[in-house]
């Protein structure tokens, strides 16, 4: 019995050893397979990552291309098409079509603008020629007529001719502004120089009405079109002269970080609340018209200021106050 038990023990240990080795082998196999799976998974994830990067890069390039399309449309340049299939290519073709139609529309508008400018110039010539002839003849007659009554009547006619000439000039200027047919030339000018020019041009009117201009902080510079900005200031100050009773018109300049504000104040009766809503409308002269104005000066001033990318507002503060704001950065973009 002893040898048999010994053999059983050895057999049991052998089976146990084989079992353990098999188990270890299976575990090694599982570990190896797991590592293989992890390795394969890593490769797949890597490939997916590369594919994702490629797609993002491709889409990024196409998106940059589309952005360049949009810039080309804005700048009226030629648009290149993305060849191929897919939504990006389709969108590229649509943008190309849009660009082509937009450029054609802009060319048509430019041609019409040139034609309109030509029509306005023709109308201007046809209107100004007879008015100028009338004015010259009236001036000659005023020099030779001695009868006082006839001179007075002729002088009234002459004043109406001047008024008509001024009206025609303002209407033609507004037409040119509305059709964007005026080329503005922007540069930096001293506000002192601008106001000196206004004061010189209006010297007779100021003296006739015993008015003076008082200016503060005029040493600042303003980016503007010299001729047209002087015209706007003159029209506003003429309105102040008509309504002023104090003999003084204040012009105060304030410089801010991105814009210049010019405040023009008279010490007259100011505006009614209803008038404030309409004073920049064409031919509006208020409830009680004053002076010989035709109600177009403030409208013209507003349009000129708008062409400088600025704006003008009116309010009451011990008289009428006009505030002009000209943003310098925006005006520079208009050059």
Reported as a single tens digit per residue, the pLDDT across 215-246 is 887 678 899 999 999 999 999 999 888 877 67
Quote the pLDDT of residue 243: 77
Quote the pLDDT of residue 151: 86
Quote the pLDDT of residue 38: 55
Which is more confident, 250 or 37?
250
- In our burial notation (b when 16+ CB lie closer than 10 A, e otherwise), range 235-269 reads bbbbbbbbbbeeebbbbbbeeeeebbebbbbbbbe
Judged by DSSP in three states, 278 sits in: coil
* Statement: residue 174 has pLDDT above 80: yes
Quote the pLDDT of residue 56: 61
Quote the pLDDT of residue 150: 87
* Statement: residue 112 has pLDDT above 70: yes
* Statement: residue 18 has pLDDT above 60: no
Which is more confident, 113 or 319?
319
The average pLDDT across 80-101 equals 65
300: buried, middle or exposed (CB in 10 Å: 19+, 13-18, 0-12)? buried
Which is more confident, 314 or 217?
314
The DSSP secondary-structure symbol of 182 reads: -
Quote the Cα angle for 193-198-202, to 5°.
150
From the CB of residue 329, how many other CB atoms can be counted at a distance below 10 Å? 11
How far, in Å, CA of 325 to CA of 260, rounded? 6
Count the residues in the chain.
335
* Statement: residue 314 has pLDDT above 70: yes
Quote the pLDDT of residue 333: 42
Which of the following CATH numbers is that of domain 187-333: 1.20.1250.20, 3.30.565.10, 3.90.1010.10, 3.40.50.20?
A: 3.30.565.10
| Cα–Cα distance list, 201 to 99, 207, 234 (Å) | 48, 12, 8
From the CB of residue 134, how many other CB atoms can be counted at a distance below 10 Å? 16
Q: Chain-wide mean pLDDT for the chain?
A: 76
Quote the pLDDT of residue 335: 39
The average pLDDT across 47-59 equals 57
* Statement: residue 45 has pLDDT above 70: no
Tell which phi-psi region holds residue 20, choosing left (phi > 0), alpha (psi between -120 and 50) or beta: alpha
Percentage of the chain lying above the pLDDT 70 cut = 64
Reported as a single tens digit per residue, the pLDDT across 178-194 is 877 788 899 999 999 99
- Give the range with max mean pLDDT: 18-27, 41-50, 86-95, 205-214: 205-214
* Statement: residue 5 has pLDDT above 50: no
Quote the pLDDT of residue 165: 84
Helices assigned H by DSSP within the chain: 2-74, 87-144, 148-178, 191-201, 203-208, 226-243, 273-276, 297-307, 328-333
Give the CA-trace dihedral at 6, 11, 13, 16, to 10 degrees: -160
The average pLDDT across 303-316 equals 92
């Amino acid at each position: 019995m002893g040898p048999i038990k010994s053999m059983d023990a050895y057999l049991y240990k052998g089976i146990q050893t084989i079992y353990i080795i098999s188990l270890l082998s299976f575990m090694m196999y599982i570990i190896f397979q797991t590592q293989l799976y992890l390795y394969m998974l890593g490769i797949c994830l890597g490939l997916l990552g590369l594919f994702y990067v490629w797609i993002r890069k491709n889409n990024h390039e196409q998106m940059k291309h589309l952005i360049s399309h949009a810039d080309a449309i804005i700048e009226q340049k030629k648009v290149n098409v993305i060849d191929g299939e897919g939504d990006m290519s389709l969108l590229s073709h649509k943008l190309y079509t849009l660009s082509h139609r937009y450029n054609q529309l802009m060319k048509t508008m430019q041609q019409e603008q040139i034609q309109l400018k030509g029509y306005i110039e023709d109308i201007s010539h046809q209107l100004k020629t007879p008015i100028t002839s009338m004015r010259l003849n009236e001036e000659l007659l005023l020099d030779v007529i001695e009868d006082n009554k006839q001179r007075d009547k002729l002088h009234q006619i002459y004043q109406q001719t001047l008024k008509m000439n001024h009206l025609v000039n303002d209407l033609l200027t507004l037409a040119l502004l509305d059709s964007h047919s005026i080329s503005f030339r922007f540069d930096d000018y001293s506000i002192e120089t601008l106001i000196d020019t206004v004061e010189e041009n209006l010297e007779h009117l100021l003296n006739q009405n015993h008015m003076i201009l008082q200016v503060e902080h005029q040493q600042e510079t303003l980016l503007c079109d010299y001729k047209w900005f002087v015209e706007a200031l003159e029209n506003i100050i003429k309105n102040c002269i008509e309504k002023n009773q104090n003999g003084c018109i204040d012009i105060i300049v304030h410089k801010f970080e991105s814009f210049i504000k010019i405040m023009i104040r008279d010490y007259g009766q100011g505006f009614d609340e209803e008038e404030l809503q309409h004073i920049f409308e064409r031919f509006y002269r208020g409830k009680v018209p004053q002076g010989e104005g035709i109600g177009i000066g403030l409208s013209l001033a507003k349009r000129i200021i708008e062409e400088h990318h600025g704006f003008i507002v009116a309010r009451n503060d011990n008289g009428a106050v006009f505030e002009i704001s000209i943003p310098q950065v925006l005006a520079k973009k208009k050059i």
